[in-house]
A and B are shown apart, each in its own frame.
Chain A
Amino acid sequence: GAGVSQSPRYKVAKRGQDVALRCDPISGHVSLFWYQQALGQGPEFLTYFQNEAQLDKSGLPSDRFFAERPEGSVSTLKIQRTQQEDSAVYLCASIRGLMNTEAFFGQGTRLTVV
């Protein structure tokens, strides 16, 4: 596709509900990142994939957060038993190669937990 696509754009979840957020990176991009952006803050790193391998998940805030990229293209970020503090914009970014020359970001998914 032309850019990084994320879906849904908006998600409202009841506390305790599981959610799945999808990221379609630019075709052929090797590296994929997930970031979490709280209101009024900068994005914070969650996890990184190189093709299908999850090489860094040091930013995942708890074991309720899980990400996968099984075929090295589309990625899903899953949050189990959502809590109010999970409310944020979740951003996906992809990079063509292995070095961070330019990260292309999607528009994000705004998650609101009520």
Chain B
Amino acid sequence: GDSVTQMEGPVTLSEEAFLTINCTYTATGYPSLFWYVQYPGEGLQLLLKATKADDKGSNKGFEATYRKETTSFHLEKGSVQVSDSAVYFCALSRPQGGSEKLVFGKGTKLTVNP
């Protein structure tokens, strides 16, 4: 079945450091790929998405590129801020069983220190 594997956490960085969170997936066909973020005390929010190979999703300084050849969708940010501290989830979806349900990775907790 479909699955998502993402980098084990937790990740601790200093402000302005470069961030990479690795994500790889297994799926048949051509899934859509997502990064969701969960800030402390809040619900999951869509951070960015890509729907086809070589697409780049970007938002709030974060970027991820859909790489079909390596089945990857790594999240990057050039300079993290304290406010980026959150749990990040990589996810995929594709139409099956009448729904486009999301399949999530386990999440990576990021802490950014001032």
If A45-B101, A100-B93 touch, whether A40 touches B44 (CB-CB below 8 Å) is no
Contacting residues of chain B (57-114) with chain A, CB-CB under 8 angstroms: 89, 91, 93, 97-107
User: Is there an interface contact between A40 and B106, defined as CB atoms closer than 8 Å?
Assistant: yes
Chain A CB within 8 A of B43 CB:
yes
Chain B CB within 8 A of A62 CB:
no
User: Is there an interface contact between B43 and A4, defined as CB atoms closer than 8 Å?
Assistant: yes
Chain B CB within 8 A of A71 CB:
no
Main secondary structure of the interface of B (DSSP, over half): strand
* Contact with A108, one of B43, B91, B99, B104 (Cβ below 8 angstroms): B43
Chain B CB within 8 A of A25 CB:
no
Chain A residues closer than 8 Å to B104, beta-carbon distance:
42-44
Q: How far is the CA of A31 from the CA of B4 in the complex (A)?
A: 23
Given contact pairs A50-B98, A91-B44, a sample of 15 additional A-B residue pairs in the complex whose CB atoms are under 8 Å apart: A31-B99, A33-B101, A40-B107, A42-B89, A42-B91, A43-B89, A43-B104, A45-B102, A45-B103, A55-B97, A56-B99, A100-B32, A103-B44, A106-B43, A107-B41
Chain B interface (Cβ < 8 Å from any Cβ of A): 4, 32, 36, 41-46, 49, 89, 91, 93, 97-107
14 A-B residue pairs with Cβ-Cβ distance under 8 Å, sorted by A, are: A3-B43, A33-B101, A40-B107, A42-B89, A42-B91, A42-B106, A45-B103, A55-B98, A56-B99, A58-B97, A59-B101, A100-B102, A103-B46, A106-B43
Chain A interface (Cβ < 8 Å from any Cβ of B): 3-4, 31, 33, 35, 40-45, 48, 50, 55-56, 58-59, 91, 93, 99-100, 102-108
